[in-house]
Amino acid sequence: MGLSVQLTFQRKLLVFSIVLTTVVIFQSSCGKADLGRETGLQVPRFVSLSSNKVNVRAGPGRRYPIKWIFQRKNLPVKIIAESDTWRKIKDHEGIEGWVHQRMLSGRRWAIILGETTLIRKDKKNAAPGVARFEAGVIASLEECVKEWCFIEASSYSGWVQSNKIWGVNSNEGD
């Protein structure tokens, strides 16, 4: 009797494993973001630098050489991988490397791309302008609604089209 119960349990476990594997493969093929091994949060995801000096290393650990030093607090970066307490990041220029998790903040920021960008009072092209931000300005990202994001920099705030900034996912705000 005990062997029969054990075999039934093993069959159920095998079926469950097959179903779970199928679900994971299906989600991956649908383009959904993966979950980070260490945090369980989406990868990739946007965060920002929490310091004016952040060492970017060739690998996940202090034994790896420093490839780059970011010197801009609040710079938005994309986490593209996780390993223990280290995060592989990528910036708006495509620079990649590993940083310690304590050098990152979950606070969202965006950087203005391209040329001077008009920040608008409302989320429509016909809305009056509030300010013009130069390329490279870093603004606090407050929310996104469809293709528009509400940002704040200095004493100015308003709406900008999401394709004019870096630091948001293409489907954010949908």
Taking the alpha carbons of 152, 158, 164, 166 in that order, is the dihedral positive or negative?
Answer: positive
- Do the beta carbons of residue 129 and residue 116 sit within 8 Å? no
DSSP labels for 8-75?
HHHHHHHHHHHHHHHHHHHHHHTTPPEEPTTT-SEESEEEEE-SS-EEEESSSSTTSPEEEEE--TT-
The total of other beta-carbon atoms located within 10 Å of residue 85's CB is 11
Provide the 3-class DSSP secondary structure of residue 103.
Answer: helix
What phi and psi, each to the nearest 5 degrees, are found at residue 70? -80, 135
Amino acid at 60: P
Tokens describing residue 95: 């620079």
Domains in the chain with CATH codes: 34-107 (2.30.30.40), 110-166 (2.30.30.40)
Task: Answer yes or no: is pLDDT of 30 > 50.
Answer: no
**Residue 169 · residue 46 · CB < 8 Å:** yes
* pLDDT tens column, 37-78: 888 899 999 999 999 999 999 999 999 999 999 999 999 999
pLDDT at 21: 36
Instruction: Quote the pLDDT of residue 147.
Output: 94
pLDDT at residue 35 in the model: 86
pLDDT at 17 over 70: no
Name the β-bridge partners of 134: none
**pLDDT recorded at residue 145:** 94
The verdict on pTM exceeding 0.85 is: no
Question: Is the confidence at residue 31, as pLDDT, over 50?
Answer: no
Query: What's the CA gap between 146 and 8, in Å, rounded?
Result: 50
* Chain segment 99-149, per-residue pLDDT in tens: 999 999 999 999 999 989 999 999 999 999 999 999 999 999 999 999 999
